[in-house]
């Protein structure tokens, strides 16, 4: 068992370096010993596949990743954690900690510099305040990674993994399904963290697709359509699309009809194919 899941050890190291938790940075550190080895194994890193971690915190997941992958690179925003990580990760010589903001760093360049052309996965217990922006940034940039295994709040996991066309789906579900094949891996209870958050979490894995599942003429239009359709969730997709795209309702209705979609359909009833058909008929 890693000493990093021993609460008194972790509290001791953090206190020694004068560290106090920042709620604003989403700092809830894992203390459940079974979670990190499982994440490290399931994320797909190994002696040939490197790994990038976002937000190593005190290094509990980082040390498991370092045991599993030939190389681990961790990006941490909070400077106060650097001396903590230097101490907790001192036994691993295949870990590099970079001080930076995952939303601002040039991740493509980082991957090239740290892993050359080798295979890479991303694995993280994401700070909850930037869950969707981080996931969307990584997917939209088409980073050369095989997969993205992240722990997120349970509700966010359900929304992200919901198949378009099902009740829980939202704009993020369609975007995620455009770039990846998502899977729910396992649940993590709120009591597994220090300090304990109010809600449970879930580990999900987004397996990056080589090709999108639908043919789209203009990607910008596809995402505009998805966003507009979900903008007013309680209205029909036709009303929401008309308002969001600034197009007359009559035009939207005839467009839906041509695509074989009921004008009374709601956004959550639309499949990836439906979104693609709507976008393609606007851009063609």
Q: Which residues bind ligand SAM (CB under 6 A)?
A: 25-30, 54-57, 60-61, 75-78, 81, 101-103, 125, 127, 130
Query: Nearest Cα to 204, choosing from 149, 162, 154?
Result: 149
- Minimum CB separation of residue 57 from ligand SAM in Å reads 3
Closer CB to ligand SAM, residue 7 or residue 209? 7
> CA 148 to CA 163: how far, in whole Å?
18
- Minimum CB separation of residue 29 from ligand SAM in Å reads 4
- Minimum CB separation of residue 76 from ligand SAM in Å reads 5
> CA 147 to CA 182: how far, in whole Å?
9
Closer CB to ligand SAM, residue 197 or residue 263? 197
Closer CB to ligand SAM, residue 44 or residue 56? 56
Query: For residue 96, is the peptide bond before it cis, meaning its omega torsion is within 30 degrees of 0?
Result: no
Residue nearest to ligand SAM according to CB distances in the complex: 55
In this structure, the dihedral spanned by the alpha carbons of residues 76, 82, 87 and 89, taken in order and rounded to 10 degrees, is: 20
Closer CB to ligand SAM, residue 19 or residue 178? 19
- Minimum CB separation of residue 27 from ligand SAM in Å reads 5
| 165 phi/psi in degrees, rounded to 5 | 100, -5
Closer CB to ligand SAM, residue 111 or residue 278? 111
Q: Between helices 219-231 and 272-283, what is the axis angle to 10°?
A: 120
- Minimum CB separation of residue 154 from ligand SAM in Å reads 14
Q: Is 47 exposed, middle or buried (0-12, 13-18, 19+ CB in 10 A)?
A: exposed
């Amino acid at each position: 068992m890693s000493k990093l899941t021993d609460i008194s050890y972790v509290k001791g190291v953090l206190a020694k370096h004068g560290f106090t938790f920042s709620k604003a940075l989403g700092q809830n550190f894992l203390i459940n010993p079974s979670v990190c080895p499982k994440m490290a194994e399931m994320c797909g890193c190994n002696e040939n596949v490197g790994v990038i971690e976002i937000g190593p915190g005190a290094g509990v997941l980082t040390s498991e990743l370092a045991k599993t992958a030939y190389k681990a690179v961790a990006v941490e925003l909070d400077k106060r954690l650097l001396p903590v990580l230097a101490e907790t990760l001192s036994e691993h010589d295949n870990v590099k900690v970079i001080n930076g903001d995952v939303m601002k760093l040039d991740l493509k360049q980082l991957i090239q510099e740290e892993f050359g052309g080798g295979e890479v996965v991303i694995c993280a217990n994401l700070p909850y305040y930037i869950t969707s922006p981080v996931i969307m940034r990584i997917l939209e940039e088409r980073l050369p990674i095989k997969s993205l295994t992240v722990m997120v709040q349970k509700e966010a996991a359900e929304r992200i993994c919901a198949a378009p066309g099902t009740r829980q789906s939202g704009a993020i579900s369609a975007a995620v399904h455009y770039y990846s094949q998502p899977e729910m891996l396992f649940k993590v209870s709120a009591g597994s963290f220090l300090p304990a958050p109010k809600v449970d979490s879930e580990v999900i894995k987004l397996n990056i697709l080589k090709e999108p599942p639908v043919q789209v003429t203009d990607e910008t239009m596809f995402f505009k359509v998805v966003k507009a359709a979900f903008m007013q969730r309680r209205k029909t997709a036709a009303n929401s699309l008309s308002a969001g795209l600034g197009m007359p309702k009559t035009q939207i209705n005839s467009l839906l009809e041509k695509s074989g979609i009921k004008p009374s359909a709601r956004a959550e009833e639309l499949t990836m194919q439906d979104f693609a058909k709507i976008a393609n008929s606007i851009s063609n």
